């Protein structure tokens, strides 16, 4: 049973970089067929996909956030990380990590998800 757990600061100052880590347990992080993803949810709002990384290090980002996002992986620790630079109050959200299942058609889905962590951007 694969489980994911987010960790990182809950408060970030405007213009700084948000950094979160997702630790994967209970499964093979380096097995093919899965993408390791970040998704966020603004308070009281819907879901927004941020990007993903393959265990090999290949990344794919939401074009609307691409200029500020970096996702990296540490296979030795079964972890992947998110960095979002130049944050503003608009980046305040619950951030989830999730495993994406790759399909040949690109119709990928996300399961399971971490419990989520609230990050507030405020001075």
Beta carbon nearer to other proteins, 86 or 115: 115
Beta carbon nearer to other proteins, 14 or 111: 111
**How many residues line the site for other proteins (CB under 8 A)?**
22
Question: Whole-number minimum distance, CB 18 to other proteins, in Å?
Answer: 19
Beta carbon nearer to other proteins, 13 or 42: 42
Long-range contacts of 110-114 (CB under 8 A, 24+ apart): 110/37, 110/39, 112/2, 112/3, 112/4, 113/4, 113/39, 114/3, 114/4, 114/5, 114/6, 114/22
- SS3 assignment, position 68: helix
Question: Taking CB under 8 A as the criterion, which residues in 32-71 touch other proteins?
Answer: 46-49, 62-64
Question: Whole-number minimum distance, CB 44 to other proteins, in Å?
Answer: 10
35-65 exposure pattern, b = at least 16 Cβ within 10 A, e = fewer: bbbbbbeeeeeeeebbbbbbbeeebebeeeb
Question: Whole-number minimum distance, CB 108 to other proteins, in Å?
Answer: 7
Question: Taking CB under 8 A as the criterion, which residues in 67-106 touch other proteins?
Answer: 96, 101, 103, 105-106
What does the binding site for other proteins look like in residue numbers (CB under 8 A)?
Answer: 46-49, 62-64, 96, 101, 103, 105-116
């Amino acid at each position: 049973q694969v489980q994911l757990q987010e960790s990182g600061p809950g408060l970030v100052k405007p213009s700084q970089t948000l950094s979160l880590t997702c630790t994967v347990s209970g499964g093979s992080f380096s097995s093919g067929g899965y993408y390791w993803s970040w998704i966020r949810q603004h308070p009281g709002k819907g879901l927004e996909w941020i990007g993903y990384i393959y265990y090999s290090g290949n990344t794919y980002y939401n074009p609307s956030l691409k200029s500020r996002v970096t996702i990296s992986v540490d296979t030795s620790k079964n972890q992947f990380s998110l960095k979002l630079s130049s944050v503003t109050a608009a980046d305040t959200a619950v951030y989830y990590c999730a495993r994406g299942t790759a399909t040949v058609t690109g119709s990928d889905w996300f399961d399971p998800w971490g419990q989520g962590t609230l990050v507030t951007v405020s001075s």
